[in-house]
Chain A
């Protein structure tokens, strides 16, 4: 093969990796569910939440022996709080990133709410259908679009949780500043809120979110889609049939047996 006759993109191996990361190149049997921005946001959020959890919980349950052992292992409360604050800034960064990501389509496509996270009436009907399915009144669960109602719930839980945690955390970090504009009672309120909302967030992440995302039939033991952005086509068909059909309808998806360069790789309809 004459190398010069094959058009090659510049950049060599790094370019190949970059293209893979962005999802420009996809296999025929996979769909790009999350673009690089979404994956990067999730990664920043995940890392910061894990660090915040492991530095925050020992502070909340400081009376518990292992907490104190862990705190002194890290070098004392001051050090633990420093780490907690750095992780909080990383979480704030992921929020700013997401906010920019949300308003970007307004300028590009002139459209708002392109993520499809806004709850619709269908979501409530879907929940009703799920309950019927659980109880055996229906043979099938609901057919979901891009995001199921549980995934939307998950998203808004983070939205709410981050707002509460960051707001109360900022008050606790700068109580002198906060009480210049707010009544003094907010410090104690923030203390209670920060501590209690943390338990809700950690409980939800470890007992619901991780279990539902990873420890479920079909994906057990680890669901890689939020890290690679890719979902196998057959699973996409099962889990998000309406979205899949919409992709087919638009002519942007083909059967798995189809072309090597899957147009669906450009990402689901937005």
Chain B
């Protein structure tokens, strides 16, 4: 009996206070936040997964949604709340993306075409609105420096590698024009249209990588296109022809001429050996890098080319001249009435 008394002693005043507050003609926000600003509120879904239900009032009021009433997104949910219709966190998340799309149609449309949107549509767990944006918070992930922690919350291994790369280091030093996730994974350099490298037409796919890198590194792209690799990449259909990342690496890319990472012959030799079986150091020495042959750089190839250009010009001039003069003389003889 004392248990009931105990409950009544606390419960009745609380219930009265509660009724008092919600009976006040306050905004929906105020009414919801009476409970939902309490720390540790958790909704247990039928699947057993737990959905946090606490909202930080200060952050919420400062956020872009600060003026938007709760019911716009969560619907009118009279107290006591009816049982949730979502069975699992997965179902809840998909529903959430649709809710955001009610207002942010363009963003949702773009996202649906992205690698994340397609994965979610296929029943997989992938990033949707609330994983990068906090609906009740102030975090705005479109700031360059915030991509790494945001993407890293799922792609931890990749981001760890990226942070050590030349790009990651530059961003860490405040160079905001260095490549971040979206620069290579989205054609529009926007997070809503992210594509995976395995997707055809993606800027990080084998067919597009050199063009993507070339946006910032045009000179290496031009010289790459003049090599066997570049030509094979352009015309190849296998999709296995080597591009920038096959020699230089992708996420953890290092400068080719750095003190520790420079492309020494030994290092190059092992890189070549990934595709060319049975290579030697001599094979790697034959790689011209991103520089055309010149008298100082691969003179053998340079002078071979010069020699053959002169030889071609000379031989062709001799041959064509010979043929033309033979014909001319034949014609002159004929005009003069000499049969030939």
Contact = CB atoms under 8 A, between A and B. Distances in A.
B40 interface: no
Given A62-B234, A208-B319, A192 B282 contact: no
B280 A134 contact: no
Interface stretch (A13-21, A87-95, A115-123, A181-189): A181-189
Contacts of B236: 76-78
Interface stretch (A2-10, A172-180, A248-256): A172-180
Interface stretch (B195-203, B209-217, B325-333): B325-333
Contact of A184 (B278, B283, B309, B322): B283
A27 interface: no
Interface string A69-110: 001000111100000000000000000000000000000000
A179 B280 contact: yes
B308 A196 contact: yes
Q: How large is the interface on B (under 10, 10 to 19, 20 to 34, 35 or more residues)?
A: 35 or more
Contacts of A207: 316, 319-320, 323
B285 interface: yes
B234 to A, nearest CB: 7
A184 B285 contact: yes
Contact of B312 (A150, A188, A203): A203
B308 A76 contact: no
A184 B311 contact: no
A189 B286 CA distance: 9
Contact of A211 (B277, B284, B298, B323): B323
B288 interface: yes
Interface stretch (B53-61, B107-115, B299-307): B299-307
Contact of A189 (B235, B301, B325): B301
B59 to A, nearest CB: 56
A265 to B, nearest CB: 27
A134 B328 contact: yes
B231 A59 contact: yes
B327 A62 contact: no
Contacts of B137: none
Contacts of A182: 282
A77 B308 CA distance: 26
Contacts of A157: 315
A182 B300 CA distance: 13
Contact of A185 (B280, B286, B315): B286
Interface string A144-187: 00000010000001000000000000001001110110111111
A179 B228 CA distance: 17
A225 interface: no
Contacts of B308: 192-193, 196-197, 200
A136 to B, nearest CB: 8
B282 A179 contact: yes
A199 interface: yes
A97 to B, nearest CB: 26
Interface in A181-229: 182-189, 191-193, 196-197, 199-200, 203-204, 207-208, 211-212, 216-217
B278 A193 contact: no
B86 interface: no
Contacts of A176: 276-280, 283
Contacts of A78: 236-238
Contacts of B302: 192
A175 B280 CA distance: 10
A38 interface: no
A251 to B, nearest CB: 29
A129 interface: no
Given A133-B329, A176-B276, 6 more contacts: A59-B235, A175-B276, A179-B280, A180-B278, A192-B302, A193-B304
15 contacts: A62-B234, A76-B236, A76-B238, A77-B237, A176-B276, A179-B282, A180-B278, A180-B282, A182-B282, A188-B286, A188-B298, A188-B301, A193-B305, A200-B311, A204-B316
The 9 closest A-B pairs by CB, nearest first: A184-B286, A208-B319, A184-B285, A76-B237, A196-B308, A77-B235, A188-B301, A179-B283, A200-B312
